[in-house]
Structures are given as structure tokens and as C-alpha cells.
Structure 1
Amino acid sequence: MPVDLSKALTKLDRPPSSHNWVRFVRSTQPETTRSILSFVRGMPRFTYQTGSSAIRDRLALGIDYETAVAITQRSGAPAGRDQNRGLVDAFFEYDRDRKYPKFASVGFEKQWFRVSREILVPVAPLSVIREHERFVPLFVCGWSQVQLNLSQRRLLATVCEDAFLSLTDYMDSPAEFLFFPKNASGIRESEVWSRGDYDLLPEGELNDQVMLYLAAREEARAILAAEKAAADEAAKDTSEHTDPSAPSLFDK
């Protein structure tokens, strides 16, 4: 399917949520540019929205495993139903030992990590629960592989700290980052980070990462703009070389 270059250019100004955004920021500008271009040109076959909704309802409403699985099977892209069920399976398996409290979710507002005056990265946990008289934000990511390097893990921890966990309600709270990647046998297993597991980036290092992303974003914009200009010119040439007086098949 041809890439809609106008939509791709628009996506540059709408970065995804924090855990997806940090994947763009690589060790060099060319790598970062390629990651950004891959994102804005791509169209995922499915998302983990139904699996995430089922997990959220387990925490907020105390739904059981069967109900959670049903949520993943009755909506969302058919291509992603097995993957979303696998995410739910892995979460409930982990919860057998973790034993999150039921009906303990509390309201919260999405926050933003400011990359620049115009560019804001959404930052929000899947849920915030109240446990042992403290608020516990739970960041859940549905990826089947966790391919973040150490720098990206530190960047994610720093972004979440800066935008969300530094709020008054959470300054002294624990927080959990839940991933459920597949093992060598294709079975999802839990990978859990706690707040403080990764050192936060110093301000100078964080600024360097942000500047790297912004430079790569502008490079990606220039590449897309050039591609769009070439496509528009080709379409114009095709139009100009079409004989409007040529009879249509339906005129015969």
C-alpha cells in the first residue's frame, strides 16, 4: 500500500506514548532518523488496546480471567486477537503471585513530557492503584519483545519520572513497569522494573537525547517533504500528458 506522505508528515508532530517514543532515540542521528521514518510511514496490523483494557478492568473492576479473555476476542483487529490474549494470559499468570488488590484503581490525568515548545510526548500509566496506603502507578507495555538498550531504558525511566512520577501524589510512591516478552519457546513471561531500578539521566544527558531526536525529526521531515514534492510533480506530469479529448471506453 502506498504511503500517504501528507499523513506521514502530520505524524511527525504527534509522537506516540513514552514507551514507544523512547524506541526512536538511538545512539546516532541516522539511526534515529530511520526509526522515526519507519514509524510515520508504517501502519500497525493491530494494537494492544483490548489486552490493555482487559488488564485495566481487572485492576479497576476485579473481572476474572475468562471475562478478560472474552474482551480480547470480541473486538479489535482479528490479526491481534491471539497476541492480546497472550498478553492477558501472561498478566494473570504474573498476578497469581503478585496479587494486585481489586477495586483499588484511582483516577489520574495523562501528563506530557515536553520535547520542545510544540512537541509533547504523552506519559501515563495504564492504571494507578492504592495499595498499603500509597498510590502505585502501573505502566504496562504489551510488546512481545523488549528491545530497549540501557540508554533507552534510562530514558524511559527519566521521562516517566519527569512528567508523571514527580507529581506530588507520587513523589514517594513505588511504581512498576510491566512487560511480558516472549521467551525462546514463544511463551510470554513477566519482566518487571520497579521505580529506581534504572539510574535517571542527568539533565545534560537528557538534553542531548532530546536534541538528537529533534535533529533526526527535522531530517525525517526533509526526506518526507522531498518525497512528497517528487510525488506531486510526477502526478502533475501524468495529468499534463493525459489527452482530455481522448474518447472514453464508455463513449464508444
Structure 2
Amino acid sequence: MLNFDAVAKKILRPPSAQNCARLNSIGDESETTRLIVNFALGIPPFNYISAIKQCSTHVQFGLSLETAKNAVLRSGSPAGRQQNAAFVEAFFNYDETRGYSRLRNVENFDGEYRLSRDVRVPTRPTFTILENGELVPVSLCGWKSLPLDIAQMRFWMTMLEEGLYSHADYRRSAAEIVFLLGNTGGIDSPRIAHVIKRGDYTLLSRSEMRDQADLYVKAQAAALPIAKAIWEERERKRNDHAIDTMIKPEIHEPTSPGLFD
């Protein structure tokens, strides 16, 4: 069970840019507050950190598919191991055509986008390749579907543009974001690559970004007491249940009298 310090940290320190975009309902402070609260109190059953790490290692060092799949099947939450293995396999299949692993891999730039003086959103790519004399930052996203609306996509792309692609080495780059989306053919169908490139979405204006940044900071402040009240109520119920379990009297079923009773 999380303590509230961990919950507050999730509210005050935004996640990576794509997940921060999910927490922003553009122009709607109330909905943004609700999204932040749900994110802070939620504990997802698994994530794709293990799979993305193995994909990056493949690009850098030529890791084999078998080694990568074995690694994700032995690490992370058991609930997500098969999903991570499917992600790895889908990326390797896509890489056979795209050829990231055949290109020179270079050090990433640790970007960030500042929503305010104290609120910074990480924008680091998964890996960076050198292609046709230009650095190309590539971000892998573990989502199985695209949950963002157009305004959220524009918000995300603008954070990347200002917090990563504007870096001197990336200014002329054809940056890429790679999704490996679930196939509608069924649960066992392979995931399919979907790629978004720099310039595919119209960026938000400076004033639109400033307005949304101000809204997000207000939503953060509003989310703290709401999340704390929900957390405290959950803790109270949990403690009451624990006490009830401890003091519940032991009940013995009546037995038939013995021969000498």
C-alpha cells in the first residue's frame, strides 16, 4: 500500500511527456484534476519498462530476440510478462524493415519541458540513431491503443518540440515515435507498428501552451487535498477491516455429546 508521500510525489512530479499528455484535458481544469487524482492513487498491474529497455539494448548492442524475450519473461510484474514479450517481438519485427539496429547509435539528450518554474516534464527519447548525417531521436511507447484526443496529441508533440527537438543536435531531425498497437484480430494477434513523425501534428501556440500549463499547475494543487481525502478514507476502511479481523471471536461448532458426558 502506498503511503501518502508517494501519492503526493506522483501528483507534484509529472510522468514522462506522453503520460503527462494523458493527464491533461485541454482547457478543462476539473477533468485534468480528476485525471491527476486517478493517476496518483492508481497502481497499474504492469508496465512496459522491461520491454522498452530490451528494445533499446537491441538497437545499441544487437541483442537477440530470444535473449530479449527471455529477459522480459523473467522480470517485472508477472501480470505483464506475456504482454512485454509480445511488445519485444513486435519491435524486432518492425526493426527488420526499419533497420534501427543497423545504424549507428549515439548518446541521448536528456530533454525536459518546463510547465512552470517548479514543474518539469521529462522528454528523453528511448534511443538516438545517426541516419543520413542527422541525429534521429526515437521514442517507444508501450500503449496498446492510442488514448489521446487531437488536442492532447498536439500538447504532447509541442512538449517534445520545445523540450527535446529544439535541442541543437535535433533541430533538423525527422524524429519518430513508435507505437506497437494491438491488432483487432484477437488477443493473440501480433502487435502492429504505428509511427508518428515530427510535423505530423500542428503544434499548440505559445499562448495555448501557457494557458494549459497554468491550468495543469492549478489542477495539481486541487488534486492534492482530494487525493489525500480519498487515501485517508481507504486507509480508515483498511484499518477497520484489520481490527475487525483481529477481534472477531472464534466460533466453535457444537458437537454431539460423547459417551461419558
Percent pairwise identity = 35
CA offset at residue 70 of structure 1? 1.7
CA offset at residue 39 of structure 1? 0.8
Look up the equivalent residue of 2:63 and give its one-letter code: I
Q: Which moved more, 1:223-232 or 1:9-18?
A: 223-232
CA offset at residue 63 of structure 1? 1.7
Contact 1:61–1:103, Cα closer than 8 Å, also in 2: no
Aligned residues: 234
Which whole-Å CA distance do the structure 2 matches of 1:170 and 1:160 have between them?
11
Classify the secondary structure of the residue corresponding to 1:190: strand
Deviation string, structure 1 residues 18-39 (Cα, Å, up to 9, x no partner): 1111000014222111110111
Deviation string, structure 1 residues 168-210 (Cα, Å, up to 9, x no partner): 1010111100011212223311110111111111111111221
Classify the secondary structure of the residue corresponding to 1:124: coil
Equivalent residue for 1:198? 201
Which whole-Å CA distance do the structure 2 matches of 1:72 and 1:231 have between them?
33
CA offset at residue 227 of structure 1? 4.8
Q: Which runs of 5+ in 1 are unaligned?
A: 239-252
Classify the secondary structure of the residue corresponding to 1:139: strand
Which whole-Å CA distance do the structure 1 matches of 2:222 and 2:33 have between them?
7
CA offset at residue 230 of structure 1? 7.1
Given the superposition, is the C-alpha separation of residues 116 and 73 from structure 1 closer, same or farther in structure 2, using an over 3 Å criterion? same
Residue of structure 2 aligned with 1:223, choices 207, 226, 229: 226
Question: What is the TM-score with the length of structure 2 in the denominator?
Answer: 0.83
Matches within 5 A, 1:37-52: 37-52=37-52
After superposition, the CA RMSD in angstroms is 2.1
Classify the secondary structure of the residue corresponding to 1:47: coil
Equivalent residue for 2:213? 210
Which whole-Å CA distance do the structure 2 matches of 1:197 and 1:103 have between them?
24
Q: Which moved more, 1:175-184 or 1:70-79?
A: 70-79
Which whole-Å CA distance do the structure 2 matches of 1:84 and 1:208 have between them?
37
Which whole-Å CA distance do the structure 1 matches of 2:110 and 2:156 have between them?
16
Which whole-Å CA distance do the structure 2 matches of 1:225 and 1:40 have between them?
10
Contact 1:54–1:88, Cα closer than 8 Å, also in 2: yes
Which whole-Å CA distance do the structure 1 matches of 2:138 and 2:49 have between them?
16
Look up the equivalent residue of 1:97 and give its one-letter code: T
